[in-house]
């Protein structure tokens, strides 16, 4: 809303403000308390004056409503833009969902079912188990999806997803980077890095809840790297791992790719610093 339109808005004397957004009170407790106190005063004044109150509903600022606000209030209506954006959005959601379900079913069928449960399973049997896994995982996801809107769990679906990935992604990144840089790292260092991330992230979330999840991931990444470095110093491999070339394709990065990569890394670090508590754009 533009400032001029906001200044032109007027309400009657006995108007109370309410929102259908059930989680905004958890997201903004101070503002919710202020609105509640104002509504209480209006209701008391209306009762004294023997007047009826009017209710004005408002859309509380919530991150998960950004897309709906964009589609309903920003894009031109009746020209096909909304349908185009929705088609692109649904296409991205469906492709991501299909990839995750395929990855989850493959992990179970190949790494658990075929390896430990039924090593001699036929190809048709493996395919059938994979299809069953897709159905089971879909049912689990559908069952858990309504819980994502519970303000007792979180105020944003995006935050829930990132929090869940935080138990895994920093450890995977730490193991990947450490394995590329330190060639004498033993296999146990990778396992320790993955397990360390799960434990460290969980402890930070429980006992230091004030740390933002991205900062928590950064701390876990540093902890995992430190643990793997200590293990490597104590028990290094006798000979460093040698990466053998298994293809005739030239894998050497071009100068332009290196410059672009450096720019992306520097730009990402700059944005993180600017928007962090120590930055200029607080």
For residue 219, the model assigns a pLDDT of 93
Number of structural domains found in the chain: 4
- Does residue 261 have a pLDDT over 60? yes
* Mean pLDDT calculated for residue range 233-262: 82
Q: Does residue 54 fall inside a structural domain? A: yes
For residue 157, the model assigns a pLDDT of 73
Same domain? 199 vs 172? yes
Question: What is the Cα–Cα distance from 130 to 114, expressed in whole angstroms?
Answer: 11
Same domain? 89 vs 148? yes
CA 247 from chain centre, in angstroms, equals 36
Q: Does residue 66 fall inside a structural domain? A: no
Contacts for 242 with CB less than 8 Å, ≥ 6 apart: 183
For residue 226, the model assigns a pLDDT of 95
Q: Which of 68-82, 185-199, 250-264 has the highest mean pLDDT?
A: 185-199
Same domain? 270 vs 221? no
For residue 146, the model assigns a pLDDT of 80
Question: What is the Cα–Cα distance from 200 to 214, expressed in whole angstroms?
Answer: 14
Same domain? 172 vs 232? yes
Q: Which is higher by pLDDT, 126 or 244?
A: 126
Q: Does residue 69 fall inside a structural domain? A: no
> How does residue 277 score in pLDDT terms, banded at 50, 70 and 90?
low
Same domain? 133 vs 98? yes
- Does residue 247 have a pLDDT over 70? no
* Mean pLDDT calculated for residue range 212-232: 92
Question: What is the Cα–Cα distance from 63 to 46, expressed in whole angstroms?
Answer: 34
Domain boundary among 27, 61, 95: 61
As a whole-number percent, the residues of the chain with pLDDT over 90 amount to 30
Same domain? 150 vs 160? no
pTM for the structure as a whole? 0.56
Tokens encoding 108: 């179970």
Among 223, 214, 213, 215, smallest CA distance to 175 is for 223
Question: For all residues of the chain together, what is the average pLDDT?
Answer: 83
For residue 64, the model assigns a pLDDT of 61
Same domain? 160 vs 150? no
- Does residue 66 have a pLDDT over 80? no
- Does residue 1 have a pLDDT over 60? no
- Does residue 53 have a pLDDT over 90? no
- pLDDT tens string 192-220: 999 999 999 999 988 988 888 888 999 99
Domain boundary among 122, 154, 186: 154
For residue 151, the model assigns a pLDDT of 65
Same domain? 202 vs 125? no
Query: Distances in Å between the alpha carbon of 215 and those of 26, 128, 175, 201, 242?
Result: 22, 42, 19, 11, 34
As a whole-number percent, the residues of the chain with pLDDT over 70 amount to 85
Domain encompassing residue 7? 3-61
Q: Does residue 71 fall inside a structural domain? A: no
């Amino acid at each position: 809303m533009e400032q001029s339109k906001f200044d032109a808005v007027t309400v009657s004397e006995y108007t109370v403000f309410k929102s259908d957004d059930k989680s905004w009170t958890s997201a903004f407790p101070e503002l919710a308390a202020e609105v509640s106190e104002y509504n209480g005063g209006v209701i008391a004044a209306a009762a004294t004056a023997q007047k009826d109150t009017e209710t004005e509903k408002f859309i509380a600022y919530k991150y998960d409503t950004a897309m709906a606000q964009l589609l309903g209030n920003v894009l031109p209506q009746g020209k096909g833009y909304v349908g185009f954006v929705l088609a692109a959005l649904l296409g991205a959601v469906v492709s991501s969902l299909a990839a995750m379900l395929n990855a989850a079913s493959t992990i179970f069928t190949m790494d658990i079912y075929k390896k430990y449960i039924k090593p001699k399973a036929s190809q048709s049997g493996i395919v059938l188990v994979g299809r069953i896994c897709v159905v089971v995982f879909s049912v689990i996801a559908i069952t858990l999806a309504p819980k994502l809107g519970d303000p007792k769990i979180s105020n944003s679906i995006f935050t829930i997803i990132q929090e869940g990935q935080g138990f895994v992604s920093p450890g995977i990144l730490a193991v990947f980077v450490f394995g590329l840089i330190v060639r004498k790292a033993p296999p146990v260092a990778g396992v320790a890095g993955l397990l360390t991330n799960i434990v460290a992230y969980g402890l930070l979330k429980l006992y230091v809840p004030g740390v933002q999840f991205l900062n928590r991931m950064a701390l876990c990444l540093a902890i995992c790297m430190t643990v793997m470095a200590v293990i490597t110093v104590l028990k290094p491999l006798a000979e460093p791992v040698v990466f053998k070339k298994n293809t005739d394709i030239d894998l050497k990065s071009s100068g332009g790719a290196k410059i672009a990569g450096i720019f992306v890394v520097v730009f990402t670090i700059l944005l993180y610093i600017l928007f962090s508590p120590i930055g200029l754009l607080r």
